[in-house]
Amino acid sequence: MLSLLFVSSLASLASVGGALPSRRSDGCTKTSVAILLVPSSILDLLVLSAADGLQALANESVDDFIILEYQDRIGGRAWHTQFGGYTVELGANWVSAGQEGQAKKHQLKSMTNDYKSFLTYNETGHTDFSHVLAELDAAKKRANVEAGRMLQENLQDQSVRTGLSLSGWNPKHDDMAAQAAESWGWDWEAAFPPEHSSMIFGMASDNLTFSQYNEDNNLVIDARGYDAIIRGEASTFLKPNDARLQLEKRIKEISYSDQGVTIKSDDGSCVEADYAICTFSLGVLQHDEVKFEPALPEWKQKAIQSFSMGTYTKYFLQFNETFWPRDKQFMLYASPTTRGYYPVWQSLDGDGFLPGSHIIFATTTHTESYRAEKQSVEETKEELLSVLADMFPDVKIPEPLAVMYPRWTQVPWARGSYSDWPVGTTLEMHQNLRANVGRLWFAGEALSAQFFGFLHGAWFEGREAGAHVAQFVRGGHCLRLDGEEEVCGSRPHYESLHGTSPLRHYSLLNGWAAKSFAASKASRG
């Protein structure tokens, strides 16, 4: 998914200006705003210096800033490449209703996906099991209603698998049509199977995006790439060849306190400022790609490790002909042996997309993505061609002109595609993920409680965090956005998170013998 944090944060900070960056005798650059586009998405750190910013509150643009970018481009997980003469998106690919405004503003070309335009296949070829997808869809709707009730009544969370089972969807493990339907109906969105995902929050994110807005989901097919949005917004405050944008900067250490933040790069340079907003991807935070000094507090580290970074992999193939149906957008494949084995296929050769390209792509998530990342492109190509041979037994599948796919977990500035809430996670646990430590603030898609995993989740989180920090720079304390309730001061956090079972419930009546505690004490002794 795509984060537009730098856009929304800078919009919030547009009234804070100051002098141009200056270099101190110790080699550190002192600046009003330092924007560090390091390991994860579009903007990874946005740093403000109140000392300079307060001098120019009436300024309508941010002049005193530096952007430090990990890569040789801005864009992060909005990452496109050229493939067989066409632009294809390796990461963020869809514009949902929550992000239509930015897409229209920058005239981003896209085509509406019709999720009713599909055919189903298994190892014998075309086999209609569309009724299985309809059964899953009906169960999901019932589970959605139950998830809403659980949230409102503060009931214990359960897995999406449990919720679907209680809603009438409980397929056998060897029912491969049903397994393929789940890959399409859940994994394809969450990047994890139903056993993993929180029913309350997994269903809530889906509901809020497609019910609060609408169900439109447009596939980006713009030759400029999805990141045309980012470049377009950046052009409003960056000049051509602007020296304030420094590419290929690798951040190695972030020191924070109640007085300010210092960022050090592996080339020996550093930036010092009063506030920072960190939007490293959850995967980057989990893999300790950057050192924090002091180490993040225990409550913060627990929150980081409690949530999950999913992997969503697209496999692009180009042929010298189109041998699959051009009048259908999707094809769903049920492997006879393996759940999630190249289940979803999407044609780019249809009208309105990239006609004449002869490009098709498959998608995997979770364990199948991890497996493919460990093998060669040649090995993966043979697997893909074998699946196509199953799907189209009457066609001699030609050798592809090209095959390509990303390896998201191996990318040091991403370490995955987007986040998910595992079963049993709570709003308080997530708030600890969002909460600031000293003057170091956090934002990004993973920090959106309502829209995690979605582009607009990153947008809203970035706007809110940027507006908060701007208030502090101005000397203010409270913030009100879009008519919502006023929020003041730092974000709250919870030092200790408690379970739902008080100690008195650990009794023989509930199947827990008192001697268990004695055994536990003895083992510790």
What are 275-330's pLDDT values in tens digits? 888 888 999 999 988 999 999 999 999 999 999 999 999 999 999 999 999 999 99
Q: Which positions ≥6 away from 301 have C-beta within 8 Å?
A: 295
- Quote the mean pLDDT of the chain: 85
Domains 29-78+223-308+416-501 and 110-220+312-410 share a fold: no
What is the Cα–Cα distance from 298 to 249, expressed in whole angstroms? Answer: 29
What is the Cα–Cα distance from 459 to 451, expressed in whole angstroms? Answer: 10
| Helical (H) or strand (E) element with 386 | helix 377-391
Torsion, Cα of 84, 89, 95, 100 (10° steps)? -80
Class level of CATH domain 29-78+223-308+416-501: alpha beta
Maximum CA extent, the chain? 73
Residue 327: HSE in the Cβ half-sphere, 13 Å Cα cutoff: 0
Identity of the amino acid at 119:
L
Token output for 215: 């169900």
Q: What is the pLDDT along the chain (525 residues), one digit of tens a residue?
A: 322 333 345 445 444 444 456 665 567 887 655 555 443 333 334 444 443 333 322 333 445 667 778 888 887 788 999 999 999 999 989 887 656 777 888 899 999 999 999 999 999 999 999 999 999 999 999 999 999 999 999 999 999 999 999 999 999 999 999 999 999 999 999 999 999 999 999 988 665 654 555 567 899 999 999 988 888 877 877 888 888 788 888 889 999 999 999 999 999 999 888 888 888 899 999 998 899 999 999 999 999 999 999 999 999 999 999 999 999 999 999 999 999 999 999 999 999 999 999 999 999 999 999 999 999 999 999 999 999 999 999 999 999 999 999 999 999 999 999 999 999 999 999 999 999 999 999 988 999 998 898 877 887 888 888 788 878 877 888 888 777 788 899 999 999 999 989 988 988 899 988 666 665 555 555
> How far is the CA of 96 from the CAs of 3, 20, 157, 230, 512, in angstroms?
13, 38, 27, 16, 49
Instruction: Work out the end-to-end distance of the chain between its first and last CA atoms, rounded to an integer number of angstroms.
Output: 48
> Domain extents for the chain?
29-78+223-308+416-501, 110-220+312-410
Inter-residue contact 175 to 209 (CB < 8 Å): no
- Give the 3-state secondary structure of residue 179: helix
Token output for 169: 């969807």
Within 57-152, residue ranges assigned H as helices are 100-105, 130-152
Q: Which fold has domain 110-220+312-410?
A: Polyamine Oxidase; Chain A, domain 2 (3.90.660)
* Long-range pairs, 368-377, Cβ under 8 A, ≥24: 368/313, 368/338, 368/340, 368/341, 368/342, 369/311, 369/312, 369/313, 369/408, 369/409, 370/311, 370/409, 372/313, 372/315, 372/405, 373/311, 373/313, 373/407, 373/408, 373/409, 373/410, 377/403, 377/404, 377/405
Q: Which positions ≥6 away from 492 have C-beta within 8 Å?
A: 431, 435
| Helical (H) or strand (E) element with 234 | helix 228-234
pTM of the model as a whole: 0.89
